[in-house]
Structure 1
């Protein structure tokens, strides 16, 4: 499982780079939502190829589909909203502010999700150190956004 941590760090780097790449695509195509469609198609193709190459892709049966909670189907819509924000907002505020705000909001939301065990997460108490970490992230993003 040690390999997960370097891979997660690479995902973090990709998360910082992706908004600029998506915005450049949108600029080059002349409209942000055409860029969003291109991003979505590329995403679907990438997931398909990784699934096929890894041998971990199979179509779910009706029982599996029925077992998914209603809100489980909304992740793709959230992903579309994230890409739309990257395409339309990231260039205006800059990479550091955009990513700082999104990551900090994500960490704060994650503390709440973990504490209450919402959307499928196992409960993890929002103890003093987690709350302090969230507060420090808010302070850090304020510093990044002001400069």
Structure 2
């Protein structure tokens, strides 16, 4: 279990660094959408290479593809939105407010997703402590953004 927490922490660090890296790529290429495509292609190539190296990649069957809920195909569009926000927003508002907003919005949204069991998550009812945690995240990002 600790491996997964460590991986999540590393992904959080990468997310913070990635915003600046991606925005710098867009600025130097002078083409944010071209940078977004490069970022996506490098990401896809990395996933393919790691999957092949670990022996964990196999193309899905047609029955697997048909079994996917319609909403599950939207993840790629959401990934593109994340990349576009990195390219256009991160350097303009700063790393801390950007990542703070990103994480806070994610935490507040995840409380709702857990409570209702939406998009494949197991149901975890909202509690006073979860609400307090979400409110503290909102207060924290307000402080980071203001100062």
- TM-score under structure 1 normalisation? 0.98
Aligned partner of 1:91 in structure 2 is: 91
Q: Tell me, what secondary structure is at the counterpart of 1:3?
A: helix
**1:77-88 map, 5 Å:** 77-88=77-88
Runs (5+) with no aligned partner, structure 1: none
Q: Distance in 2 between matches of 1:54 and 1:125?
A: 37
Residue of structure 1 equivalent to 2:13: 13
CA distance in 2, matches of 1:2, 1:103: 21
- Tell me the number of residue pairs that the alignment of Structure 1 and Structure 2 aligns: 147
Alpha-carbon distance between aligned partners in 2 of 1:80 and 1:143, rounded to the nearest angstrom: 28
Deviation at 1:2, TM superposition (A): 2.1
Deviation, 1:54, is 1.1
**Cα offsets for 1:4-59 (capped at 9, x unmatched):** 11111111100111110000000111121111011011010011011111111001
Runs (5+) with no aligned partner, structure 2: none
Distance 2:17 2:30 in 1: 20
TM-score, normalised to structure 2, is 0.98
Show the 5 A alignment for 1:1-147.
1-147=1-147
Q: What SS class does the counterpart of residue 125 from structure 1 fall into?
A: coil
Kindly report structure 1 stretches of 4+ aligned residues shifted beyond 3 Å. none
The C-alpha deviation readout for 1:105-129, integer Å capped at 9, x for no partner, is: 0000000000000000000011111
Find the aligned partners of 2:54 and 2:8 in 1 and give their Cα distance: 18
Distance in 2 separating the partners of 1:2 and 1:104: 23
For the residues of structure 2 that align with 1:102 and 1:3, how far apart are their CA atoms? 24
Tell me by how many angstroms 1:97 deviates: 0.3
